[in-house]
A and B are shown apart, each in its own frame.
Chain A
């Protein structure tokens, strides 16, 4: 039966057309499509992977930033505490120093005043002694202007010496 015997014309055309179809599609058609789909698949996978990575990275950064903020807050508190401690210390120090200085100045002043006072007293004494000698001289001179008096005086002095001797 003719149904089961391949016809030569049809074989010929089938060989040509199927050959061309296979050549064109297997070279320029399907590989392009398959390659692109493959590339898209790879791209999606990579994107997902990158997104996952970015997410974990972000989480890490978040934790890190929180840690940094916490640290900064602690440091801030510490610095403030330290500053107030230092301030107190400085003030106290200044106070004691100032007090000591003042005491010293007062003491110096007192010593100086004392020495000045003594000097003044000594001076006054010296002047008083000179003055009294001068006055005594003048008094004696005026009293011993006459001869009698001079003699009286000498006698009295002699008496006095005698009496004290005896």
Chain B
């Protein structure tokens, strides 16, 4: 083992030890803390929330309030900051449900005293992160494009050159071979999808504000992405594509009295984008959950004695670093796969009639 690594590990364990003792003394000071509910802990971090929770120091909640925008059928429009809800207060008849069907969402009580969900377009954590990454992406790509507009096609340096290499590699290695002829029509959309997913994945890996939100691990986001691909695939479908779905070249008994194959093909139209949606959602969700689970390991083992806690802390940190690197890879791979499969589906939809031999 090299000297540098030894020193690093020593420092790491010293740091963890101090940290641990501080935590332990806190626990002692606060009396008997209720054990950490890991499931709640993870779910809270990977799901959406109305404010950006940063940390809790003692009893004080440190968070960034975000605007709540709600339209209620009973009381009309409401726009206020989410800090109004602090301490479980209700504001203008609205409150965050603690349990039940709408747990964690803003609800109001109807005349019968039942919780109902108003039309809610609040800028939540995920929405804020989404808007932030969208603006960031537009700034990055437009600055690259502007540099091209200004200086023509002369070779670029630095960031623009790196982005160019990235864009061209996606264009030439994913989009071009998967769609084939006429790929230029779809390249801008697919490139946008790729970089949109990639930047959101990356921001999700950064634990500090404004990163860390689980944007691409949210089914609403992947649903819209998959929906766009679904429309583009089926709107660019050629005659041959629809013919292969509705009247495929299979033995007649598979099509005629019971349209078995057409039914399967029709289901296939929907399963393809559905798989895209679930794949991206589940992968990103799983990544976040693993990292959070490893972090929770530190707090769960507090009650198991110091030796156990220290050793598990080391394990947790080492694994977190490892999973963090894996997630970096996954961030790229998932963007790559989504783009590639979208391109493949578009390519399949633009199928030409088979040549008769």
Interface residues of A, Cβ cutoff 8 Å to B = 2-15, 17-18, 20-22, 24-34, 36-37, 39-40, 43
Contact = CB atoms under 8 A, between A and B. Distances in A.
A4 B281 CA distance: 9
B188 A26 contact: yes
B223 A6 contact: yes
B138 A21 contact: yes
B77 to A, nearest CB: 14
A15 B127 CA distance: 11
A133 to B, nearest CB: 133
Given A2-B103, A9-B127, A28-B145, A18 B153 contact: no
Interface in B55-99: none
Contacts of A27: 188
A17 B219 contact: no
Contact of A8 (B46, B104, B120, B131): B120
A9 B153 contact: no
B127 A25 contact: no
Given A13-B131, A18-B228, A43-B153, A25 B188 contact: yes
Contacts of B104: 2
Nearest to B142: A29
Given A32-B145, A37-B164, A13 B130 contact: yes
A135 to B, nearest CB: 135
B119 interface: yes
A142 B239 CA distance: 170
A7 B184 CA distance: 34
Interface stretch (B189-197, B246-254, B264-272): B189-197
B144 interface: yes
Contacts of B184: 34
B106 to A, nearest CB: 9
Contacts of B192: 21-22, 25-26, 29-30
A33 B285 CA distance: 33
B107 to A, nearest CB: 13
Nearest to B134: A17
Q: Which secondary structure characterizes the binding site on chain A?
A: helix
A31 B196 contact: no
Nearest to B227: A15
B16 interface: no
B113 interface: no
A27 B192 CA distance: 10
Nearest to A32: B145
Contact of A21 (B121, B126, B196): B196
Given A6-B220, A18-B196, A43-B153, A30 B187 contact: yes
Contact of A36 (B119, B134, B152): B152
B250 to A, nearest CB: 35
Nearest to B153: A40
B164 A33 contact: yes
B47 A2 contact: yes
Given A6-B223, A33-B145, A14 B130 contact: yes
A1 to B, nearest CB: 9
